[in-house]
Amino acid sequence: MNKPLAVGSIAPDFSLPDQEKKVRSLKEFRGSYVVLYFYPKDETPGCTQEACQLRDDFSAFTEQGIVILGVSYDSPASHKAFKENHLLPFTLLSDSDKTVAKKYGAYRWFIPFARRITYVIDPQGVICAVIPNVDVSTHASQILALIEQDKKKN
């Protein structure tokens, strides 16, 4: 397994198709906090719980202008169905060739799914928090607390 990126490092830019096959890049969200969360697979129990928890707390993110981007190896069509099935209000990105997962330490060569890991990227594009061991039941509140801490530092 490759290592996660460190807090304080510049988040590598990338371009990936979203659930509508529209290519999105990290740099288009510069100026906002970005939650970049990697997850193993659409429609699996833990991934569904994680996504639905972010959905349920979505207003707390949008009130602060925080962008949520979910990333897995699933296809845009799979993401579109997952998003529709669970009324997910945020963007899901397809990293089918695993390029971005490799850059961000979410790639596991011996397992066909991305590692569950979350990065919080500040408005300047710097990684301000890494959650390597995500608890899907408290993920949203943990992210919001980390962003609040980062805002107080700056």
Active site amino acids: 47
pLDDT computed for residue 6 by the predictor: 87
The pTM of this model reads 0.94
Instruction: Determine the structural domain holding residue 99 and report its residue range.
Output: 15-148
7 inside domain: no
Rounded to whole angstroms, how far apart are CA atoms 72 and 62? 22
Q: What is the CATH number of the domain that holds 57?
A: 3.40.30.10
The secondary structure of residue 120, as a DSSP letter, is E
Q: What is the mean pLDDT of each run of 10 residues along the chain (154 residues)?
A: 82 97 96 96 93 95 96 96 97 96 88 90 96 90 93 83
- Number of structural domains (the chain) is 1
- Cβ atoms of residues 116 and 105 within 8 Å: no
pLDDT computed for residue 142 by the predictor: 94
pLDDT computed for residue 59 by the predictor: 96
pLDDT computed for residue 79 by the predictor: 96
- Cβ atoms of residues 21 and 28 within 8 Å: no
The CA-atom distances, in angstroms, between 39 and each of 18, 30, 124, 149 are 15, 22, 24, 24
Tokens matching residue 96: 């089918």
- End-to-end alpha-carbon separation of the chain, Å? 33
